[in-house]
Amino acid sequence: MKMMKIKKIGIVANIEKEKIADHVKSLKEWLEGKGVEVFLEMEISKKVANSVGFKWKELAKKSEMIVALGGDGTMLRTAHYLAGHRVPVLGINLGSFGYLTEVNLNEIHSTLELIISGKFVTEKRMMLDVSIKHSKTVTNAGSVLNDVVINRGDLSRMNELEMEVNGRYLTTYKGDGLIVSTPTGSTAYSLSAGGPIVFPGNDLIIVNPICPHTLTNRPIIFSEDSNLKITLWSKDKGAMLTLDGQEAYKIKSGDVVTIKKSRHATTLVLSPYRSYGEILRSKLGWGDLPPGAKKRKNAK
């Protein structure tokens, strides 16, 4: 458990959310009333009267912690822009579904009371670096917290994706595409495509085919030091490469996508009220604890 008191907090938010300006203004005033210096990201500052906004890098340098109000998309965008900065992020869920935004809106004050007094726990989450090689040109596409997805383009035809692992040929996937995810991303698109749930804290790389033509092509889990090279072979208009659902790149036949563990990591501030297992039960509707387990839990 961290025991460092927090005196400087940055706020980012999904500006499309209903009443987001009111939520941010209220939170800013509450934090300032507790003696905390508050900095707003540029976009949300335009929604809040009499406030100054900061670009992402400047926000990260000024803040000891970032509060992200929105949903998982907001958290993924925050992770993307803060890659390389070690500032921890607390996600506040303003929607109905979210694995990364662990704290609900009605818990925000009690949670932040603990955090600003230094009583909080963080967890580092693995990220992936992605690059694209087209002919002799290499583009560093960026880092992702959840997943890299390669899927077919406009035409409903199969793509062929040739995969090498650490310089050795593994197989050629034929189908709609591939999902390469981190443990954090295992509960996102990969889960919908039949992939395994991997608890965060285990640095692994999950490769999951999307609607494979060969039914023996199943999800595979690789070690964190694996270097994946995926070459697209397509007779059509190519395919789309998306990073955390936030950015997209058009790739063509012969292009090579390299994916490996990033030197960067996202540091999340964990909910003081529920474990990852409890979040899974809630989000996936697995049902309540049995009576015996409830008694053991309450006895602790």
CA 280 to chain centroid: 16
Does the pLDDT value for residue 1 go beyond 60?
no
Question: Active site residue: 72, 129, 176, 255, which one?
Answer: 72
Q: Which residue has the tokens 């704290």?
A: 103
* Residue positions counted in the chain: 300
Yes or no: say if 134 and 150 are a contact pair by the CB < 8 Å rule: no
Quote the percentage of the chain above a pLDDT of 70.
93
Least confident interval from 90-94, 163-167, 231-235, 282-286: 282-286
Coil, strand or helix at 287: coil
In which element (H, E) is residue 118 found? none
pLDDT band of residue 96 (cuts 50, 70, 90) is: low
Q: Work out the angle between the directed axes of helices 20-33 and 108-116 (0-180°, nearest 10).
A: 40
Q: Can you give the pLDDT at residue 9?
A: 98
Across 204-221, average pLDDT: 94
Q: How far apart are CA 150 and CA 216, in angstroms?
A: 19
Q: Can you give the pLDDT at residue 196?
A: 95
pTM across the whole model:
0.89
Q: Which two tokens stand for residue 115?
A: 């955090």
First vs last C-alpha separation in the chain: 18
- Looking at every residue in the chain, the average pLDDT score rounds to 91
Bridging pattern class, strands 168-181 and 220-223: unpaired
Query: Which of 119-133, 268-282, 286-300 has the highest average model confidence (pLDDT)?
Result: 119-133
Q: How far apart are CA 199 and CA 276, in angstroms?
A: 8
**Phi-psi bin for 14: left (phi > 0), alpha (psi -120 to 50), beta?**
beta
218-261 residue pLDDT tens:
999 999 999 999 999 987 778 999 999 999 999 999 999 999 99
251-284 residue pLDDT tens:
999 999 999 999 999 999 998 888 888 888 888 8
Nearest to 146 by CA among 92, 59, 75: 75
Domains delineated in the chain? 8-121+270-288 (3.40.50.10330), 128-263 (2.60.200.30)
Q: Pick the residue with more confidence: 83 or 66?
A: 66
CA 125 to chain centroid: 9
Q: Can you give the pLDDT at residue 289?
A: 66
Q: How far apart are CA 204 and CA 201, in angstroms?
A: 9
Across 107-124, average pLDDT: 94
Q: How far apart are CA 266 and CA 226, in angstroms?
A: 20
Q: Can you give the pLDDT at residue 237?
A: 76
pLDDT band of residue 299 (cuts 50, 70, 90) is: low
174-194 residue pLDDT tens:
999 999 999 999 999 999 999
pLDDT band of residue 68 (cuts 50, 70, 90) is: very high
Coil, strand or helix at 191: helix
CA distances from 25 to 11, 15, 46, 234, 280 (A): 10, 13, 12, 51, 31
* 72 tagged catalytic: yes
Nearest to 212 by CA among 175, 254, 255: 175
CA distances from 157 to 30, 145, 174, 175, 254 (A): 54, 29, 10, 8, 17
Yes or no: say if 262 and 128 are a contact pair by the CB < 8 Å rule: yes
Q: Can you give the pLDDT at residue 81?
A: 92
- Find all residues with CB under 8 Å of 24, minimum gap 6, and list them: 11, 13, 40, 44, 47, 48, 69
* Torsion angle defined by CA atoms of residues 215, 128, 79 and 269, in that order, rounded to the nearest 10 degrees: 90
Task: Looking at 120-259, list the stretches that DSSP marks H as alpha helix, in order from N- to C-terminal side.
Answer: 189-192
